[in-house]
Amino acid sequence: MPVYYYIVLAIALFSIGVIGVLTRRNAIIIFMCIELMLNAVNLLLVAFSKMHNLATVAINPTAASDAQIFVFFIMVVAAAEVTVGLAIIVMLYRNTHSVDVNFLNRLKN
């Protein structure tokens, strides 16, 4: 499969994520959109890794694992981000009974 299919899919996923982060007010949906953007980057990393290391894999089988290590690192960071973010959202909901992020503007004063 040509790599530009992956690029188009990743651009679409990343665009949906950016639009969701910029337009939505629900904190949970914002987190889901951030995860969508991270997965778009993961998709591109794996696709480019496969494209660039296709010739070297025959010589060195461990050469294509660099991008997979980065993807694993991004997944770990995303899991940590979700853990901290959901804890913040739960505490926000307990105190305000809403997950609207516009309420956080009151923290400025």
- Amino acid present at 53: N
Rounded distance between C-alpha atoms, residue 85 and residue 91, angstroms: 10
**Residue 25 predicted with pLDDT over 70:** yes
Q: Which of 19, 26, 38 is nearest to 81 (CA)?
A: 38
User: How does pLDDT run across 3-22, given as a tens digit for each residue?
Assistant: 899 999 999 999 999 999 99
Q: Which of 12-16, 45-49, 61-65 has the lowest mean pLDDT?
A: 61-65
Q: Which of 26-30, 34-38, 82-86, 99-103 has the lowest mean pLDDT?
A: 99-103
- Show contacts of 13-19: CB within 8 Å, 24+ apart: 13/37, 13/39, 13/40, 13/43, 14/40, 14/41
What's this model's pTM, rounded to 2 decimal places?
Answer: 0.76
Across 69-81, average pLDDT: 86
What's the chain's average pLDDT?
A: 85
Measured in residues, the chain has a length of 109
What's the DSSP call for residue 5? Answer: H
The predicted structure's pLDDT at residue 21:
93
